[in-house]
Structure 1
Amino acid sequence: MEESTLWWLITGAAVIAELLTGTFYLLMLAIGLAAGAIAAHAGAPTAVQLVLAALVGTAAVVACHLVRKRRPPSQPATSNRDVNLDVGESVSVEQWSPDGTAQVKYRGAQWTVVLRPGNAPSPGTYRVAEVIGNRLLVDKL
């Protein structure tokens, strides 16, 4: 069996492992393995194939890590509009309880509304800032 065939089989196994586990870094290592296969096709000695695969795979993993590190951190799911469509919606509060909560009808159900710290409880329209369990954390509009 040709060396390049072995490289391609190992590359395929790394891609399959990445698909099963969702580990993006395995895909970067598969790029390094593909570089080893290309080197085998070019007729490079085994030592050069191994070194090239290691260097390309390592460079791809480091580049992926640096790109991910530079991205701003995502919001928690409780306040992320992409995850929770209730965030940003408005609710109407008619009366606040002495404990700082209120009951509102929202989406056909009763919800407990809690004011975000720094807001004064007063009747009116509020924007949902976060959903914490079965409570809506709101800001005054």
Structure 2
Amino acid sequence: MIKNLSSLFCGILFGLGLVISQMVNPVKVLAFLDIAGHWDPSLALVMASALTTLGLAYRLIIRRPSPILEQSFHLPDATRIDARLLTGSALFGLGWGLSGFCPGAAIAAIGYGRTEALLFTLAMCVGIWLFRLIHRPAHS
């Protein structure tokens, strides 16, 4: 129960951050990508703030023997940069650049009743489903 409440709190806090920074507004995001036109650098400040906060918090948290609500940390095992990672990153970037939404911001924007955010989220879910269908692990 406490893990679920903690997750809910973190999700709400993240969503509020996206709303306050206007990252739920695809026009704002697309203006950041328009470096040859009416460039808006505010997204760079949002990213720098997030990375700074993460960098400082990560250094403090990872020193603990375990997380507060888990038995152990769940860190990624993969350390290689491979074709699968590059392809996924490129697809993420293309989707973000074409729509102005990233997954978290799209879900938060659904709360505003934005139809394009709902369509983006549905398309993202279909993409996840297709990936899992294509890359289904072989049963041994």
For normalisation by structure 1, the TM-score amounts to 0.24
Q: Pick the structure with more strand per residue.
A: 1
For normalisation by structure 2, the TM-score amounts to 0.24
Higher relative contact order (CA 8 A, sep 6+): 2
